[in-house]
């Protein structure tokens, strides 16, 4: 049998179900790997070692439960998701001592499925960033090269899975925050359709853009996690009550891509790609054709407006969402405030980091009287046009394919000085959130120049994650294996 932490979630799940491995044994292996690699990678803000050990022990005492699809599997959750009695910091000082009294729905569903929470993943503060350097606690490093960033904002989730510390993680994606770190860390990352997964218990950044999704070492693993977390939840009025397909059955249906049409948006392939990204993604599309898919050119003409649209909407929603941090009910409160207003102002100023304050200011500005129509309303109008652009493209094909990012993971410190430059890294991922469509990153090989992982982005029709997963599953076996990072 392979080293436990080299197994995929699907493999370890099977070994646990047939009692080849015990939950305690697997949990110990995860904790040992965390201890060995964490000083270098720094993927986790907190580790729930004792709670995990206790749960594993009680699971072993009861024996495997076939009704629990993740029975005994150690997982990590991004620290933006509420976990009952376990610190949930959002990567911010303002929530340093916050212990939620409830679980986010996605977390509760993982627990009900028998999963064991071993850690909370580091992230850019309030999910604002693309490198995970913007955590108030520490920066996470890329397990493939410790001098490089893991991507963000779910960089801790990406790094912990790539470093073999757990078998899967939950990330969140507002503008690419699952797909970018998945691409940079060489793992699978899936952002579901807006409304597919309940956002209850996720600390909100951009409420009309945010989605929770799985980050794993295989497509099958992602399908298994999505199966557990997907579905309507009465506690999130934006979660949609539509049937959730049996994703594993869909994966098993078909091993090739015959009958599938893949659209290649000219705007994603034409310019600005590093040669290694163009080469690896191009080779993956060729593989799709060899597997029977038809590749057709499509256009997403409004792509050039996506970043401006996204950052207006995201910061506007953020400034409103983050108004709740006022030092009254939870979170940081300044010492000895002069009066109530002084308490609000000082608590927030002391608690929020620089990028968060910048986005709150920008968001407040674009929503303020006199500018609302010119910025926020205008952006919401362009958003509808972008959605129509996608609908037109996806009427000519079943899936869109392109790179996740123009480059592989960049060096630590390269993107920190100019905020606009960092926003531009999200160029290929943010439109998907504006349109509310499902998207994923599939590792398609290592770059010829940097030796770093490269992700191919697939985008599907609304609520059609099944077809995207099926295609990715077929393609996964045909592209060069990325493997695990060696640490």
Partner 1 sequence: MKISPEEVAKVAKLARLDLSQDKIGQYAEQLGGILDYMDKLAELDTADVEPMYTPVDHVSVMRDDVARKDYAREDILKNAPETDGAFFIVPRIV
* Active-site residue list: 78, 153, 177
Nearer to partner 1, 66 or 101 (CB): 101
Which stretch in 41-49, 175-183, 369-377, 403-411 sits in contact with partner 1 by CB under 8 A? 369-377
DSSP letter string, 452-464 = -EEEEEEE-STT-
> Among 92, 216, 274, 319, which residue sits at the site for partner 1 (rule: CB under 8 A)?
319
Which stretch in 42-50, 51-59, 183-191, 333-341 sits in contact with partner 1 by CB under 8 A? 333-341
Does 53 sit near partner 1 (CB under 8 A)? no
Question: Nearest approach, Cβ of 196 to partner 1 (angstroms)?
Answer: 10
Grouping H, G, I as helix, E, B as strand and the rest as coil, residue 418 is: coil
Helix H or strand E segment including 481: none
Cis bond before residue 253 (omega within 30° of 0): no
Nearer to partner 1, 145 or 233 (CB): 233
Does 330 sit near partner 1 (CB under 8 A)? yes
Which stretch in 67-75, 141-149, 219-227, 302-310 sits in contact with partner 1 by CB under 8 A? 302-310
The interface with partner 1 within residues 118-147 (CB under 8 A) comprises none
b/e 415-432 (16+ beta carbons within 10 angstroms → b):
bbeebeebbebbbbbbbb
Cβ atoms of 80 and 170 closer than 8 Å: no
Write out the two tokens for 8: 């995929």
Residue 345 CA to residue 349 CA, distance in Å, equals 6
Half-sphere exposure in the Cβ direction for 216 (13 Å, CA): 28
Q: Is the dihedral of CA 405, 407, 412, 414 positive or negative?
A: negative
> Among 348, 461, 467, 473, which residue sits at the site for partner 1 (rule: CB under 8 A)?
348
> Among 144, 268, 352, 428, which residue sits at the site for partner 1 (rule: CB under 8 A)?
352
Nearer to partner 1, 304 or 396 (CB): 304
The interface with partner 1 within residues 78-117 (CB under 8 A) comprises 97-102
> Among 46, 345, 406, 480, which residue sits at the site for partner 1 (rule: CB under 8 A)?
345
Q: Is the dihedral of CA 70, 135, 320, 437 positive or negative?
A: negative
Nearer to partner 1, 100 or 213 (CB): 100
Does 234 sit near partner 1 (CB under 8 A)? yes
Question: Nearest approach, Cβ of 308 to partner 1 (angstroms)?
Answer: 4
Cβ atoms of 262 and 296 closer than 8 Å: yes
Q: 243: which DSSP letter?
A: P
Does 240 sit near partner 1 (CB under 8 A)? yes
Backbone angles phi, psi at 444, to 5 degrees: -125, 20
The interface with partner 1 within residues 410-439 (CB under 8 A) comprises 419-420, 423, 435-436
> Among 261, 299, 364, 416, which residue sits at the site for partner 1 (rule: CB under 8 A)?
364
Does 195 sit near partner 1 (CB under 8 A)? yes
Does 308 sit near partner 1 (CB under 8 A)? yes
> Among 5, 127, 312, 409, which residue sits at the site for partner 1 (rule: CB under 8 A)?
312
Burial of 18 (0-12, 13-18, 19+ CB in 10 A): exposed
The interface with partner 1 within residues 447-486 (CB under 8 A) comprises 462
> Among 74, 150, 176, 327, which residue sits at the site for partner 1 (rule: CB under 8 A)?
327
Question: Nearest approach, Cβ of 360 to partner 1 (angstroms)?
Answer: 5
Does 291 sit near partner 1 (CB under 8 A)? no
Write out the two tokens for 31: 């904790």
DSSP letter string, 13-58 = HHHHHTTSS-HHHHHHHHHHHHHHHHHHH--EEEE-HHHHHHHHHH
């Amino acid at each position: 049998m392979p080293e436990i932490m080299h197994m995929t979630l699907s493999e370890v799940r099977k070994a646990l179900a047939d009692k080849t491995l015990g939950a305690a044994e697997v949990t110990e292996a995860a904790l040992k790997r965390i201890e060995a690699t964490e000083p270098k990678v720094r993927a986790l803000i907190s580790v729930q070692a004792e709670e995990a050990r206790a749960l594993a022990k009680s699971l072993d005492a009861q024996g495997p439960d076939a009704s629990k699809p993740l029975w005994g599997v150690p997982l990590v959750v991004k620290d933006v998701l509420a976990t009952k009695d376990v610190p949930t910091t959002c990567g911010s000082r303002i929530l340093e001592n916050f212990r939620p009294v409830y679980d986010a729905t996605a977390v509760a569903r993982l627990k009900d499925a028998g999963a064991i929470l071993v850690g909370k993943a580091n992230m850019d503060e309030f999910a604002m960033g693309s490198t995970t350097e913007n955590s108030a606690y520490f920066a996470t490093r890329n397990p493939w090269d410790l001098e490089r960033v893991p991507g963000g904002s779910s960089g801790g989730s990406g790094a912990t899975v790539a470093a073999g510390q757990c078998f899967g993680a939950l990330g969140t994606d507002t503008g690419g925050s699952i797909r970018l770190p998945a691409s940079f860390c060489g793992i699978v990352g899936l952002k579901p359709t807006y409304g597919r997964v309940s956002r209850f218990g996720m600390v909100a950044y951009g409420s009309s853009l945010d989605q929770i999704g799985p980050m794993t070492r295989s497509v099958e693993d992602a399908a298994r996690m999505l199966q557990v977390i997907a579905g309507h939840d009465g506690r999130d009025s934006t979660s949609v009550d539509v049937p959730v397909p049996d994703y594993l059955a869909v994966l098993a249906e078909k091993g090739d891509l015959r009958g599938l049409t893949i659209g290649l948006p000219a705007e994603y392939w034409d310019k600005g790609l590093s040669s290694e990204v163009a080469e690896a993604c191009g080779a993956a599309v060729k593989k799709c054709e060899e597997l029977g898919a038809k590749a057709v050119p499509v256009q997403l003409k409004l792509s050039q407006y996506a970043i401006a649209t996204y950052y207006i909407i995201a910061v506007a929603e953020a400034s409103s969402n983050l108004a709740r941090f006022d030092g009254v009910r939870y979170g940081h409160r300044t010492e000895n405030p002069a009066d109530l207003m002084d308490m609000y102002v000082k608590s927030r100023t002391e608690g929020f980091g620089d990028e968060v304050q910048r986005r709150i200011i920008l968001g407040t500005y674009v929503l303020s009287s006199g500018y609302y129509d010119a910025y926020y309303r205008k952006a919401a109008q362009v958003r509808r046009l972008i959605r129509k652009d996608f609908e037109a493209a996806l009427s000519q094909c079943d899936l869109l394919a392109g790179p996740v990012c123009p480059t592989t993971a960049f060096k630590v410190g390269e993107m920190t000085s100019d905020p606009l430059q960092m926003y531009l890294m999200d160029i290929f991922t943010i439109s998907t959130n504006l349109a509310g469509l499902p998207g994923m990153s599939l590792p398609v090989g290592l770059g010829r120049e940097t030796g770093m992982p490269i992700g191919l982005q697939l985008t599907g029709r609304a609520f059609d994650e099944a077809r995207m997963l099926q295609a990715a599953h077929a393609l996964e076996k045909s592209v060069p294996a990325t493997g695990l990072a060696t640490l």
